[in-house]
Amino acid sequence: MIVYGRNPVREALRGRRTVSRLWATQAAARETWLMEESQSSALPIDRAEPPELESLSGSADHQGVAAEVSEYAYASAAELLVADDALVLVLDEIQDPHNLGALARVAESAGATGMVITDRRSAEVTPTVCKSSAGAVEHLAIARVGNVSDYLLDAKAAGAWVYGAAADGEMAYDQPDYSGKVVIVVGSEGKGMRPKVAKNCDALVSIPQRGQIESLNVSTATAVLIYAVLRSRG
C-alpha distances (whole Å) from 134 to each of 76, 97, 162 are: 23, 13, 28
Domain that includes residue 36, residue range: 2-69
In whole angstroms, give the CA distance from residue 162 to residue 181.
9
CATH code of 60's domain: 3.30.1330.30
Per-residue pLDDT of the chain (234 residues; tens, 9 = 90+): 999 999 999 999 999 999 999 999 999 999 999 999 989 889 999 999 999 999 999 999 999 999 999 999 999 999 999 999 999 999 999 999 999 999 999 999 999 999 999 999 899 999 999 999 999 999 999 999 999 999 999 999 999 999 999 988 889 999 999 999 999 999 987 788 999 999 999 999 999 888 877 677 899 999 999 999 999 998
Residue where one domain finishes, among candidates 20, 46, 69: 69
What is the tally of structural domains in the chain?
2
Look at residue 21 and give its three-state secondary structure: strand
**DSSP alpha helix (H) spans, the chain:** 6-14, 26-29, 32-40, 50-57, 97-109, 127-132, 148-157, 195-199, 218-232
Check whether residue 159 and residue 138 sit in a common domain.
Answer: yes
pLDDT at 192: 86
Residues 129 and 193 in one domain: yes
Query: Same domain, yes or no, for 63 and 85?
Result: no
